[in-house]
Amino acid sequence: MAEPSFAFGPQWQGRCFVCGAIEQQYRTDKRLCQHCKERYRHERFFRDVSDLGSCFATILPQTDAVAEGLLRHGFSDMFLKAGEGDKRPGRLLKRAFPAGMPLPCGQPVLLELKHMAQFAGLGGTWVLDLSPYIWSGTLKDLRSWAVLSLAIEHRINHLALWTAGNAGYSLAKLVHRWNATVPTAQRKTVYSLVDAFASPEMVVTLRSLQCRVAPISTGSGTILSRDQLYHVVASIAGERKDYWQVTDGWDGVGVFMYSLLARQCFHFLRTELSKIRKLEGADVYIILPLGTGNLLLGFIRGMEHVGEGRAKVVAALPYGDHMMKSFEPPDAEPNDRPRMRRDLPEAPKLTGFYSPLSPCLWHLLQDRDFSHVGAVEFIEVDRAAQIEAAARVLGPAETMTVAAEPSALIAFGALKQLAQRIRDHDLNLEHSVALVVNSGFGIMGMKEQEFFTKSIFAFR
C-alpha cells in the first residue's frame, strides 16, 4: 500500500458511505464494504475500470457518542464559536486527536445576507463563510488541520495528495509552519500531485513552501489508483514506506470534519431562525460547490445525524465538465427547440472527471426527488449566473461582502435556480431559507484572476 495500514485509534469507527455498514475500527487500507464492492463490480458504469472497488477507500472514520451539547457550543479555534460553557468542545477534539497540535485553524463565520435573499426571492439567505480560516483561506484548512494532527500522532512524516490547488496549498502551508517549530527528525514533507496543465502560479506557490510538486497527465477520465500514485511519489522521493496518501476520499478524515461542522452550523442556524417569527421552523436548503465530493458527503453525513427537521443538501456544479458528467446517460431524443446560449463558467477546481469518491457520488444519483429531504439536488451554473452572483457577493456598494474565488461563486450562482425549483414544486418560497457554503478564497491561476478583472468589474 502507498501508506501504512495504521488504525486511527479505538475511538474511530469505519462506516461505508453507501450502505452505512459499520466496521469495528477504521484503518487506512479499508475500501468499500464487501457488499458494496461486489454490487458495484456488476454495475454498467464501473465495467470500464478494472477492479474499481479496490481503488477507493470510502470508509468514514467517526468518533462514538459525539455530544450534541458540544456541537451547540461550537469548537474553539476550529468551528463556529456560539458560546461558552462547562462542556468545552475541545474535549472532543482531544479524544479524536490526542496529539494536541498547538497550531490553530481559525474561525469560520455564519452571517445573514439579506440582499441575496431579495436577489433570489427567498425568505432568507445565510452564508457559512470559510474564507477566514487562517492558512489557505479555504475549507481545506479544516481537513489539513485534522490530517496533520493524525500524522503527528502516528509519526508519519511524508504526506502525499492529489490536488487542484487549495488542498495542497493548505496542507503545505500548515506543514511549513509546523516544521519551523520542531527538530529535524519530526519535520514533515508534502508531495502534491497536480495536473500537467496546472497553472504555473500554483506550482510556484506550492514549491515556495518546500512542497514537492509532480505535474502529471492522466488523460481524460483516467482514475489513478493508490498503487499508481505510490510509484509517482516514489519516483520523486525514492522508495518510502512511511507516508500517508491523504487525497480527498482516500482517508475520510476531511469528511469526518465537515460532518461535524455541518451539524454544529445547522444547530446554530436553527437557533438564529427561531428568533425570526416568520422563519421559525423554515425549510432549509444547504447549497455547496461540488468538486471531488468530500464537502458534499460530509454535509450529507452531518444531516443524517440531525435526523428529523434536517436541511436538504443542494450540490452546485459548473455547467460543462464536472464530476457528475460521467454518470449522466446521453439524451435519448435531442431537443431541437432553440435555447439561449450558455457559456462555461470559470471554475477550474470543480471540473474534471477524477475523484476517489466516484462510487458514492454515483449512488446519490439513484434518488432524484426534490420533495424528499434526504435526496441530493444537483444544479448546474453557467457563466452568466456566476457573474451575476459575483457582482452581488464580492462588491456591493452598501452591504456586506464575502471573499469567494470563482469556483466558490458557483454555489451563489445556484440561488435563483433553487428558488425556481421550490416554486415548481409548489413549496412555500417565503418560508424557505438557503444556507450557502462559501468554500473560500484560495490560490488562483491567471485565468481565475482575469475573471475578476474582466468579468465582475465590467459587469458592475
- CATH of residue 290: 3.40.50.1100
| Sign of CA pseudo-dihedral 388, 390, 391, 397 | positive
Q: Quote the pLDDT of residue 239.
A: 67
How many domains are contained in the chain?
1
- Residue carrying C-alpha cell 477534539: 93
Q: Quote the pLDDT of residue 16.
A: 77
pLDDT one digit per residue (tens) for the chain, 460 residues: 345 566 677 667 777 777 777 766 777 666 667 777 677 666 655 544 444 444 455 567 766 555 665 555 555 566 665 444 434 445 667 777 877 788 888 889 899 999 899 999 999 999 999 999 999 999 999 999 999 998 888 888 889 888 888 999 999 999 999 999 999 999 999 999 888 878 888 899 999 998 999 888 765 445 566 667 777 787 887 766 667 888 887 778 888 889 888 988 898 898 889 988 888 889 999 999 998 899 999 999 889 888 888 999 999 999 988 888 877 665 545 555 556 678 889 888 888 776 778 778 878 887 788 989 989 999 999 999 999 898 888 766 556 778 899 999 999 999 999 999 999 999 999 999 999 999 999 988 888 888 887 765 544 4
Q: Which helix (DSSP H) or strand (DSSP E) does residue 119 occupy?
A: helix 114-120
Distance CA 83, CA 113 (A): 22
Edge-to-edge order in the sheet of strand 243-245: 212-216, 189-195, 158-162, 243-245
Q: Are strands 22-23 and 243-245 parallel, antiparallel or unpaired?
A: unpaired
Q: What are phi and psi of 61, to 5 degrees?
A: -75, 135
Distance CA 70, CA 74 (A): 6
- The torsion region of residue 38 among left (phi > 0), alpha (psi -120 to 50) and beta comes to alpha
- Residue carrying C-alpha cell 478524515: 253
395, part of any domain: yes
Q: What residues make up the domain containing 407?
A: 90-135+252-459
Q: What are phi and psi of 97, to 5 degrees?
A: -130, 80
417, part of any domain: yes
85, part of any domain: no
229, part of any domain: no
201, part of any domain: no
Quickly list H helices, 308-365. Answer: 358-364
333, part of any domain: yes
Cα dist from 338 to 176, 192, 345, 424, whole Å = 54, 45, 21, 22
Q: Tell me, yes or no, if the pTM score tops 0.85.
A: yes
Q: Are strands 283-289 and 432-438 parallel, antiparallel or unpaired?
A: parallel
Q: Are strands 59-63 and 12-16 parallel, antiparallel or unpaired?
A: antiparallel
Cell numbers at 44, concatenated: 454498467
Q: Quote the pLDDT of residue 86.
A: 34
Q: Quote the pLDDT of residue 54.
A: 47
Cell numbers at 198, concatenated: 496546472
Question: What residues contact residue 326 under an 8 Å CB cut-off, 6+ apart?
Answer: 45, 221, 353, 358
369, part of any domain: yes
Q: Quick count: other Cβ atoms within 10 Å of Cβ 35? A: 12
170, part of any domain: no
Three-class secondary structure of residue 40 per DSSP: helix
- Residue carrying C-alpha cell 435556480: 417
Residue 95 Cα to chain centre, angstroms: 24
- Secondary structure percentages of the chain, helix, strand, coil, to 5: 40, 15, 45
State which amino acid sits at residue 35: H
The DSSP result for 378-429, as a single string, is: EEEE-HHHHHHHHHHHT--SSS------HHHHHHHHTHHHHHHHHHHTT--S
Q: Quote the pLDDT of residue 240.
A: 63
